[in-house]
Chain A
Amino acid sequence: MTITERTITAPEETLALPAGPTIAHRPLGAFTRPQGSEGWTSWLFTVDHKRIGIMYGAAAMFFFLVGGAEALFIRLQLATPNGSVIGAGTYNGVFTMHGVTMVFLVIMPMAAAFANYLLPLQIGARDVAFPRLNAFSFWCFLAGGLLLVSSIFIGGWFQNAPDGGWFNYAPNSGLPFSPSKGIDFYAVGLQITGVASLVSSINLIVTVLNMRTKGMSFFRMPVLTWMLLITQFLLLFAIPVITVALFLLMFDRLWDANFFNVAAGADPLLWQHLFWIFGHPEVYILILPAFGIVSEIIPTFSRKPLFGYHFMVASGIAIGFMGWGVWAHHMFTSGIGPLAVAAFSVSTMFIAVPTGVKILNWLATMYRGRLRFTTPMLYAVGVVSMFTIGGLSGVTHAIAPSDTQQTDTYYIVAHFHYVIFGGALLGLFGGFYFWWPKAFGYKLSEGWGKASFWVMLIGFNFTFGPMHILGLQGMSRRIATYRADEGFALWNMVATIGSFVIAVGVAMFLWNVYTSTRKWQRAGRPDVGPDPWDARGLEWMTASPVPEHNFDSEIEVERLDEFWHRKYGVDENHRVVKTATAEEVAHDGSNTKVHLPSPSYWPIVLGGGILLVGYGLIYNLWLAAAGLVLLVGAIYGWILEPADDPDAAGHHDDHHDDGDGHGDPAGNGGPDGNGESASAAAPADTEEGATVG
Chain B
Amino acid sequence: MTAETTATEAAAHDGEHHTSTGISNEKLAMWVFLGSECLLFGGLISTYMFNKGRIGPNDIGPNDVFDIPFTSVSSFVLLMSSLTMVFAVSSIARGDLRGNRIWLATTAALGATFVAGQVYEFTAFYSEGLGFTTNLFGSAFYALTGFHGAHVTIGIIMLMSLYVMSMRGNLGPERSETVEIIGLYWHFVDVVWIVIFTIVYLFPQ
Q: Which residues of A contact B (CB under 8 A)?
A: 124-127, 129-130, 198, 201-203, 205-206, 209-214, 216, 236-241, 243-245, 247-248, 251, 255-259, 261, 264-267, 270, 274, 549-555, 587-588, 590-591, 593-596, 639, 648, 651-652, 654-656, 658, 661-663, 669-670, 672-673, 675-681, 683-685, 687-688, 690-691
Please tell me which one of the listed residues B6, B23, B147 contacts residue A593 in the complex, with CB atoms under 8 A apart.
B6
Q: Does B11 contact A (CB under 8 A)?
A: yes
Instruction: Write the B127-158 contact mask toward A (1 if CB under 8 angstroms, else 0).
Output: 00000110110111001000100110010011
Asked if A680 and B181 sit within 8 Å, CB to CB, the answer is yes
- Name the B residues within 8 Å of A553 (CB-CB): 1-3, 5-7
How far is A202 from B185 in the complex, measured between Cα atoms in Å? 15
How far is A257 from B139 in the complex, measured between Cα atoms in Å? 6
Q: Does B15 contact A (CB under 8 A)?
A: yes
Asked if A244 and B40 sit within 8 Å, CB to CB, the answer is yes
- Name the A residues within 8 Å of B72 (CB-CB): none
Please tell me which one of the listed residues B19, B138, B181 contacts residue A677 in the complex, with CB atoms under 8 A apart.
B181
- Name the A residues within 8 Å of B43 (CB-CB): 240-241, 243-245, 274
Known: A656-B170, A676-B177. A247 touches B32 (CB 8 A): no
Q: Does B73 contact A (CB under 8 A)?
A: no
List 18 additional contacts besides A251-B132, A256-B133, A552-B1; criterion CB under 8 Å: A127-B11, A206-B29, A210-B24, A213-B7, A237-B35, A239-B36, A240-B37, A248-B143, A258-B133, A258-B135, A259-B47, A553-B3, A655-B174, A661-B170, A677-B177, A680-B158, A691-B147, A691-B150
- Name the B residues within 8 Å of A681 (CB-CB): 26, 29-30, 33, 181
Asked if A211 and B20 sit within 8 Å, CB to CB, the answer is yes
Q: Does B14 contact A (CB under 8 A)?
A: yes
Asked if A687 and B26 sit within 8 Å, CB to CB, the answer is no
The smallest C-beta distance from A632 to any residue of chain B, in angstroms, reads 9
The smallest C-beta distance from B137 to any residue of chain A, in angstroms, reads 9
The smallest C-beta distance from A263 to any residue of chain B, in angstroms, reads 11
Asked if B51 and A670 sit within 8 Å, CB to CB, the answer is no
The smallest C-beta distance from B66 to any residue of chain A, in angstroms, reads 19
The smallest C-beta distance from B193 to any residue of chain A, in angstroms, reads 16
Residue of B nearest to A241 (CB): B43
Please tell me which one of the listed residues B7, B26, B32 contacts residue A678 in the complex, with CB atoms under 8 A apart.
B26
Known: A551-B7, A676-B178. A259 touches B170 (CB 8 A): no
- Name the A residues within 8 Å of B115 (CB-CB): none
How far is A348 from B19 in the complex, measured between Cα atoms in Å? 39
Q: Mind listing 27 A-B residue pairs with CB under 8 Å?
A: A126-B11, A211-B20, A239-B36, A240-B37, A245-B43, A261-B136, A265-B55, A265-B135, A266-B54, A549-B7, A553-B5, A594-B6, A594-B8, A651-B12, A655-B174, A656-B170, A656-B174, A663-B168, A669-B15, A672-B15, A681-B29, A684-B30, A684-B158, A684-B182, A684-B185, A685-B33, A691-B151
Asked if A129 and B25 sit within 8 Å, CB to CB, the answer is yes
- Name the B residues within 8 Å of A202 (CB-CB): 29, 32-33, 36
Q: Does B16 contact A (CB under 8 A)?
A: yes
The smallest C-beta distance from B135 to any residue of chain A, in angstroms, reads 6
How far is A610 from B22 in the complex, measured between Cα atoms in Å? 34
The smallest C-beta distance from A308 to any residue of chain B, in angstroms, reads 25
Please tell me which one of the listed residues A237, A251, A588, A673 contacts residue B1 in the complex, with CB atoms under 8 A apart.
A588
Asked if A211 and B14 sit within 8 Å, CB to CB, the answer is yes
Interface centre among B24, B40, B55, B161 (most CB of A within 10 A): B40
How far is A213 from B54 in the complex, measured between Cα atoms in Å? 55
Asked if B136 and A265 sit within 8 Å, CB to CB, the answer is yes
Asked if B8 and A596 sit within 8 Å, CB to CB, the answer is yes
The 7 A-B residue pairs whose C-beta atoms are closest, nearest first, are A553-B3, A244-B43, A552-B1, A677-B26, A240-B40, A257-B139, A210-B19
